[in-house]
Amino acid sequence: MIQVFILLGAAAAMIVVDSLSRKVGIREGGGIFASMALFSTLILLWVEASKPPQVTTYRVFGSESPLTASLKLDPLSLYLSMIFCGIGLAASIYSIRYMELERETGLDRYYLLLLTLVAGMIGVTLANDFFTLYVFWELMAISSYSLVSFRKWSWEAVEAGFKYLLMSSIGSLMALLGIALLYGLTGSLGFDVLKAALASGRSPAAHLSLALIMIGFGVTAAIVPFHSWLPDAHPAAPTPISAVLSGVVIKTGVYAMLWSLFKVFTPQVYGFGWIIMGLGALTMTFANITAIMQSDIKRFLAYSSIANIGYIITGMGIAAHVAANYSGEFRIVALALAGSLLHILNHALGKGLSFLSAGCYIVRAGTREISSLGGIGLKMPATTTSLGIGLLNLAGIPPLSGFWSKLFIASAGLGILSDISLIAVTAVFILNSILAAGYYLWFLQRIVFKRGAGGYSSEINEAPASMLAPLIALAATSILITIMLNPVIDFIQSALGVLLG
Amino acid sequence: MGPHELYFTASLILIIIGIYAVMSKRHIVKIVIGLELLTLGVNLAIATTGLRIIDGVSHVDALAQSMVAISMAIGAAIAALALSLAINIYRHYGTFDVRKLRRLRW
């Protein structure tokens, strides 16, 4: 609750803090201040998470329920906001040196937007009614449009930013229209009131509103066919922002879909699991095939993000499908959702690591082409080790935690052997995982071993220490989660308790 | 036709015009105008859901009205950002024609 307001307060103070610290000769004042705000938010979230799991709600304005706007704090929102805040913190520390090396200006606005972006993402997970969710959603969205077009001297950023703004704001408006329909149907927007009112019966208006909400949030989650902004927007942003956008911002779309599917529209009443499952299979297949053809390192990673969203969506779809059609199979629903939630964490860490390592190469070599980066890995061993851990985690190589999340989703899909559609989707999922593991390893091999590319000067050295620090922290977190998987799974189970009741 | 149907029809027409403008127009400012029409249509739909007619007297739901006010502010922020991007596009390309900016691979 207070976590959002720390970030918003720090964002409001950013311009003053930055100009004051410049007056006394500290150029990095803004970045240090933003990192401190994100760090204290992370600590506060950690303190909340270490308490026994409970659900707390706060009223923001309006009269008593149902006519109210309110916030909640439960294990699911804590889990996601800690991921969001952690990746935001890593990007913020990384930005201090990166933005200096890239000679970017206007850094006070940059850190302000980074703080409002993270505040918006945390707010989305804390919202307890659709309108609060929409307000924080737009806070997040407007910050990310501005950050994508931050390097406005380059045509790529401006063009990608405009495309992103157009597609994403039409998507948000579709979601808002669906929300308005729900308000007209039930007279409230609180999630619990909506769930009770919508579970009693189906109506065409409720189905239309479900479709509009799924399309709206699906644009931000970059589900095929609403993905085409992502491969342009994510590479065009400054690299730390690419890590935040690709690692966590698209996850807010997944969260909003997950919450609407399970906490607003009951899966047993609205049978939609097979649509989500099919979209997930389409998304990962399309993105994996397209990713192989990319020659730009950041576009390659962006397409791999779409593929990973496909895995998460597939897990969600399997859960919704099983919940709708097989009422006794509660364990399979929980297993599929646990796999999706764990994969949200794994992908955030893995994609954060890969984008931040790619940023180190880009700064040192001055190019984004994979073919001219061949062999650079051996010259920057610490960066390459982090990149390797991130990519192996994404590829799902055992014993890293990326393996377990994919195993959960696959074994949930194979839980009911008589259902052809489940088996088919799981087969597509496993094939895609193998394909993805193949191209991650191929990519790593090219970065490390391919000699004589010559796209960079021969005497480049390791990235600066303050850029390596967040990389090593994220890599250590990946390994720590692999070792201590049980507490993480326990926490995910208490989050599932919120989701499934 | 009661007031609800009337307002919903009007908002639907605005939304369709907006989507048409975004999809088919070539001029960036016209695309932004289409986006604004879309916003207006959705806002009108929210305001309509807050209209309650009890015993022939129309009452207004205050929560829906406050939602429309917040949504209008958000829409204004998006329009401002879109127009500033339009200016930057003009600086880079010297044109407002959206067909000229297909340098990104689709």
pLDDT score of B106 more than 50: no
Cα B66 from chain centroid (whole Å): 17
**Can you give the pLDDT at residue A63?**
61
Q: How far is B88 from chain A (nearest CA, A)?
A: 7
State the angle between helix axes of A155-186 and B28-49 in degrees (0 to 180), rounded to the nearest 10. 20
Contacts of A138 (CB under 8 A, 6+ apart): A120, A172, B74, B77, B78
**ipTM for this model:** 0.95
Minimum Cα–Cα distance from A148: chain B residue: B85
Strand pairing partners for A70? A59
**Can you give the pLDDT at residue A453?**
59
Chain A residues touching residue B78 (CB < 8 angstroms): 138, 142, 145, 165, 169
B22–A170: do the CB atoms touch at under 8 Å? yes
Q: Is B62 helix (H, G, I), strand (E, B) or coil?
A: helix
B78–A142: do the CB atoms touch at under 8 Å? yes
First to last CA, chain B: 45
Chain A residues touching residue B49 (CB < 8 angstroms): 180-181, 183-184
**Can you give the pLDDT at residue A333?**
93
Cα A151 from Cα A237, distance rounded (Å)? 7
Report chain A's mean pLDDT, rounded to a whole number: 90
Q: Which two tokens stand for residue A179?
A: 């929300």
**Can you give the pLDDT at residue A450?**
78
Q: What burial letters (b/e) apply to A258-291, b meaning 16+ CB within 10 Å? A: bbbbbbbbbbeebebbbebbbbbbbbbbbbbebb
Confidence of residue A65 (pLDDT cuts 50, 70, 90): low
pTM: 0.95
Domain ranges of chain A: 271-501
Task: Provide mean pLDDT across the span A134-160.
Answer: 93
A183–B49: do the CB atoms touch at under 8 Å? yes
Cα A63 from Cα A82, distance rounded (Å)? 31
Q: Which of A329, A179, A175, A322 is nearest to A262 (CA)?
A: A322
A170–B42: do the CB atoms touch at under 8 Å? no
Task: Provide mean pLDDT across the span A91-112.
Answer: 91
CB A34 within 8 A of CB A6: no
**Can you give the pLDDT at residue A405?**
95
Chain A residues touching residue B30 (CB < 8 angstroms): none
Cα A463 from Cα A121, distance rounded (Å)? 30
Report chain B's mean pLDDT, rounded to a whole number: 88
Return the half-sphere exposure (C-beta side, CA atoms, 13 A cut-off) of residue B64: 24
Question: What are the start-end ranges of the H helices in A222-376?
Answer: 230-236, 239-244, 250-259, 273-292, 297-325, 330-365
Confidence of residue A173 (pLDDT cuts 50, 70, 90): very high
B28–A162: do the CB atoms touch at under 8 Å? yes
pLDDT score of A497 more than 50: yes
CB A406 within 8 A of CB A309: no
Cα A493 from Cα B80, distance rounded (Å)? 43
CB A301 within 8 A of CB A355: yes
For residue B51, the surrounding DSSP H or E stretch is strand B51-54
CB A59 within 8 A of CB A69: yes
